[in-house]
Amino acid sequence: ASGCKIGPSILNSDLANLGAECLRMLDSGADYLHLDVMDGHPALQGGQFFYMHMMVSRPEQWVKPMAVAGANQYTFHLEATENPGALIKDIRENGMKVGLAIKPGTTVEYLAPWANQIDMALVMTVEPGFGGQKFMEDMMPKVHWLRTQFPSLDIEVDGGVGPDTVHKCAEAGANMIVSGSAIMKSEDPRSVINLLRNVCSE
C-alpha cells in the first residue's frame, strides 16, 4: 500500500474550540477530519475535508442539513436504517460521498450487498459512543474479507486505533485510519499522524 489516509477524530478534542481544533489537525498533516455526530449534537460547516460519521438513530433526517453545512462524505450505520439503498441514493443526490458503517456485532455479510454502491466501508473497532476505548482486534477478519472481495473499496477503521494497533489494521487491508485520543492527546500530533500513515506503506 502507498500509505493510508489519516483522519483524526475530533470527538476527544476541545469541542468549545472545534474550528481551531480542526485547523490544528489539518496543520499537523491530517488528510481528512473524521467528525462524529450523535443525536443532539450540532453540525459544522465549510471545507473539503469533512467526513461525517453519523452515529444517530435516524440517519435519513440529517442528509440534507449535512450537505448544506458542507459535509463531503456521509457515513451512516447499517443498523440504523431499514432502507440502505434509498439512503445511499439520497446522499449521492445531495452531492456527498457515501460511507457505510457496521458495529462490532454486525457481520460483514450484511454490508457486502451494498459494497459496490458505496465509497467507503467503516468497520467499527469499538462500540460506537466515545473515544479512548480498547481496540477490538477480532474485527480484523471483517476488514480482511472486505479487502479480498472488494479490492478498490476504501475501508476505514475507527476505535482504539493508534501507534500500537494501526499495523493490524493496515495488514488486514484498511486504508483509512481514524484515530482520536492517540492523536488528540499527543503533544506532537504531526508525528503521530506521520507514524500512522507510514505503517500503511511498510
Annotated binding residues for a divalent metal cation, as ranges? 34, 36, 53, 158
In angstroms, the Cα distances linking 7 to 31, 33, 113, 119, 181 are: 6, 5, 26, 16, 12
Do the beta carbons of residue 110 and residue 78 sit within 8 Å? yes
With contacts defined by CB under 5 A, name the span among 24-32, 33-41, 60-68, 149-157 that binds Zn ion.
Answer: 33-41
Interface residue with ligand DX5 among 50, 180, 192, 200 (CB under 6 A) is 180
Nearest to 64 by CA among 45, 42, 91: 91
- CB of 90 or CB of 158, closer to ligand DX5: 158
Residue from 14, 31, 36, 188 carrying the catalytic annotation:
36
Q: How far is the CB of 93 from ligand DX5 (least distance, A)?
A: 26
75 binds ligand DX5 (CB under 6 A): no
133 binds ligand DX5 (CB under 6 A): yes
161 binds ligand DX5 (CB under 6 A): yes
Nearest to 57 by CA among 146, 128, 131: 128
d(CA 110, CA 187): 40
- CB of 63 or CB of 103, closer to ligand DX5: 103
114 binds, among ligand DX5, Zn ion, none (CB under 5 to 8 A by kind): none
Q: Which amino acid is at 192?
A: V
37 binds, among ligand DX5, Zn ion, none (CB under 5 to 8 A by kind): none
Work out whether the CA dihedral 125, 112, 76, 30 comes out positive or negative. Answer: positive
As a residue count, the chain comes to 202
158 binds Zn ion (CB under 5 A): yes
d(CA 97, CA 154): 11
Active site residue 119: no
Residues that bind ligand DX5 (rule: CB under 6 A) add up to a total of: 22
9 binds ligand DX5 (CB under 6 A): yes
To the nearest 5 percent, what fractions of the chain are helix, strand and coil?
45, 20, 35
Active site residue 31: no
Residues that bind Zn ion (rule: CB under 5 A) add up to a total of: 3
Nearest to 62 by CA among 49, 80, 79, 48: 80
C-alpha cell at 176: 483509512
Q: Annotate each residue in 33-62 with x if it binds ligand DX5 (CB under 6 A) or - if it does not, as one string.
A: -x-x----------------x---------
Please give the positions annotated as active site: 36, 158
